[in-house]
Amino acid sequence: MSSARIGFACQYRHPQRSLALKELKLIEAALNPRTTTLRWMDSVTAEIARGRLLEVVTHNLQAQLALLAYVGTLPPALRMLRLSSDLLPFYSHPRVSAFYQQADVQSVLIEGFAAIGAAARDARIRLSMHPGQFCVLGSDRPDVVENSLAEFEYHADMIRMMGYGRQFQDFKCNVHIAGRLGAEGIRAIWHRLSQEARNTITFENEEKTYGVDDCIGLSDLAPVVLDVHHCWINENDYIPAQSERVERIIDSWRGVRPVMHYSQPQERLQDLGFSPETKLEMDELLKVVPKRELYGHSARMWNHWTNGYVTEFLDRFDVMFEAKDKNLAAAEFYQAYVATR
Per-residue pLDDT tens digits of the chain, which is 341 residues long: 458 999 998 888 888 877 788 787 888 889 899 999 999 999 999 999 999 999 999 999 999 999 999 999 999 999 999 999 999 999 999 999 999 999 999 999 999 999 999 999 999 999 999 998 889 999 999 999 999 999 999 999 999 999 999 999 999 999 999 999 999 999 999 999 999 999 999 999 999 999 999 999 999 999 999 999 999 999 999 999 999 999 999 999 999 999 999 999 999 999 999 999 999 999 999 999 999 999 999 999 999 999 999 999 999 999 999 999 999 999 999 999 999 87
What SS3 class is residue 146?
helix
The model carries a pTM of 0.94
Q: Which positions ≥6 away from 22 have C-beta within 8 Å?
A: none
Amino acid found at 148: S
Q: 68, 81 in Cβ contact below 8 A?
A: yes
**Strand partners of residue 172:** 128
Give the integer Cα–Cα distance in Å for 314 and 300.
19
Q: Where are the beta strands (DSSP E) in the chain?
A: 6-9, 80-82, 126-129, 172-176, 201-204, 224-227, 259-262, 318-321
User: How far from each other are the two terminal CA atoms of the chain, in whole angstroms?
Assistant: 8
pLDDT value, residue 39: 93
Tens-place pLDDT, residues 136-193 = 999 999 999 999 999 999 999 999 999 999 999 999 999 999 999 999 999 999 999 9
pLDDT for position 1? 42
| Average pLDDT over all residues of the chain | 95
Q: Which of 91, 26, 23, 83 is nearest to 56 (CA)?
A: 91
Domains of the chain: 1-10+263-341 (no CATH), 11-255 (3.20.20.150)
The C-alpha atoms of residue 231 and residue 156 are separated, in whole angstroms, by 27
d(CA 331, CA 73): 13
Tell me which residue of 63, 257, 86 sits closest to 172, measured CA to CA: 257
| pLDDT at res. 20 | 84
Is the Cβ–Cβ distance between 60 and 90 less than 8 Å? no
Cβ count near 276 (within 10 Å): 16
Helix (H) or strand (E) holding 144: helix 142-161
For position 26, what pLDDT does the model report? 83
Predicted local distance difference test score (pLDDT) of residue 280: 96
Q: How many C-beta atoms surround the C-beta of residue 29 within 10 A?
A: 13
Note the pLDDT of residue 115.
98
